[in-house]
Structure 1
């Protein structure tokens, strides 16, 4: 066996259709029970438990117990970013599992990507920040500028509280539908929370869709203009 990272094992874990469906369901950022994930994967509960055990052993999932239930979530933000990148790569090669349906335009417009905004709105937000100089880009590395610190603070976000040694403030995440980057990191998470907390948007139940109200969309477009 050759030395180095074992991408074959990772590919095997993600490549199983049932496990892929489970991971996709968890991209909404919410923890789900084994029963809920079994339904998402279209398998029995015992089969789902076997799949979940393999995903957890592979470092892709974490679990916590609450009462009689066990809840599963993606292991970390790196796992979510890896899955979003794979989705983008698959879409760019025409590997789509279904024809576009009624929900497809809404998903492409605005959706949650683990814990931050993705889709057309997510890409627009990052484009606007880059054009205004709020964020500076050096390759794939994103940095909040001094002017950007003031700009984001003016939105009502406590930037200082977002700094963490375990997670970057700004991170580029490849968007699977737009095939361009949107904003991840602790700032991306805080901005999505800001939109929801202030009534600009809401999460659609049992979906990754982020639904902006007409007034919320008007405000979003005004705050994040693009040429």
Structure 2
């Protein structure tokens, strides 16, 4: 008589889906929160389009990716926030390989990603940590027993014009371990809303083809006025 946990086969299948370098590269790329074409992902992963198509089909069938077709193009994105959280949490457990960049462009891209980037739908890197620290210092976020917004924070988000979609299964605030800073940054509903607002308001702009973002001059002023983050600190 077996006592094996009935979830074991499913967990093994899920791990098997991720345990492939090409598929892992696709999942990490899609942490930018956008939909990519199969061709874009193939070039990013450095494999043939036919090979990438097989990998995408497995990820879609396994529930990790969602797809849609527009004309000749096949677009894929992460299937939702729970998948993004899974990928983020796993990636944070991996120590980045210590290798020297081969080109100035590669070095610049790595520096930009560390300075500021999107982590699926919230801010990460030094930018994400700076915002998280500023919210905490102002009593808008507490971290003692896990991330949680304070009453003052709810008022602050409203005053800034950032709406929070409450009532769903996703927590208002969640700690997400930053893989470059090795400290948690703000995720959850509040993290996503804040990230979306910074992009919509022009406080941050995306740069390059990766997840990197940079703070604009107007963003520096806004973050300084609203959170006390020194202008120039995130350049």
* TM-score with structure 2 setting the length: 0.85
1:52: which partner in 2? 56
Kindly indicate whether the alpha-carbon contact (under 8 Å) linking 1:124 and 1:224 is maintained by their aligned counterparts in 2: no
Paired residue for 2:155, among 150, 155, 160?
150
Deviation (angstroms), 1:80? 1.4
| 1:193 is the counterpart of 2:196 | yes
* TM-score with structure 1 setting the length: 0.88
Paired residue for 2:23, among 19, 22, 47?
19
CA distance in 1, matches of 2:154, 2:187: 16
User: What is the aligned length?
Assistant: 221
Partner deviation per Cα, 1:53-102 (whole Å, 9 max, x = no partner): 111122211112223322100111122122222222112xxx42743522
Deviation (angstroms), 1:224? 2.5
CA distance in 1, matches of 2:145, 2:51: 43
Which structure 2 segments of 5+ residues have no match?
102-106, 230-235
- Give the CA RMSD over aligned residues: 2.2
CA distance in 1, matches of 2:228, 2:14: 40
Deviation (angstroms), 1:25? 1.3
| 1:82 is the counterpart of 2:86 | yes
Deviation (angstroms), 1:214? 3.1
Deviation (angstroms), 1:19? 0.8
Structure 1 SS opposite 2:191: helix
Kindly indicate whether the alpha-carbon contact (under 8 Å) linking 1:26 and 1:74 is maintained by their aligned counterparts in 2: yes
Deviation (angstroms), 1:169? 1.8
Kindly indicate whether the alpha-carbon contact (under 8 Å) linking 2:202 and 2:218 is maintained by their aligned counterparts in 1: no
Kindly indicate whether the alpha-carbon contact (under 8 Å) linking 2:207 and 2:214 is maintained by their aligned counterparts in 1: yes
Task: Map 1:46-195; keep pairs closer than 5 Å.
Answer: 46-91=50-95, 95-96=96-97, 98-100=99-101, 101-140=107-146, 142-159=147-164, 162-195=165-198
Structure 2 SS opposite 1:90: coil
Structure 1 runs (4+) greater than 4 angstroms displaced: none
Partner deviation per Cα, 1:178-218 (whole Å, 9 max, x = no partner): 11111111211111121122221111141101111234224
Structure 2 SS opposite 1:182: strand
Kindly indicate whether the alpha-carbon contact (under 8 Å) linking 1:116 and 1:183 is maintained by their aligned counterparts in 2: yes
Between 1:165-174 and 1:4-13, the stretch displaced more is 4-13
Structure 1 SS opposite 2:29: helix
CA distance in 1, matches of 2:15, 2:99: 21
Structure 2 SS opposite 1:102: helix
2:233: which partner in 1? none
Structure 2 SS opposite 1:10: helix
Kindly indicate whether the alpha-carbon contact (under 8 Å) linking 1:85 and 1:175 is maintained by their aligned counterparts in 2: no
Between 1:23-32 and 1:130-139, the stretch displaced more is 130-139
Paired residue for 1:210, among 203, 213, 226?
213
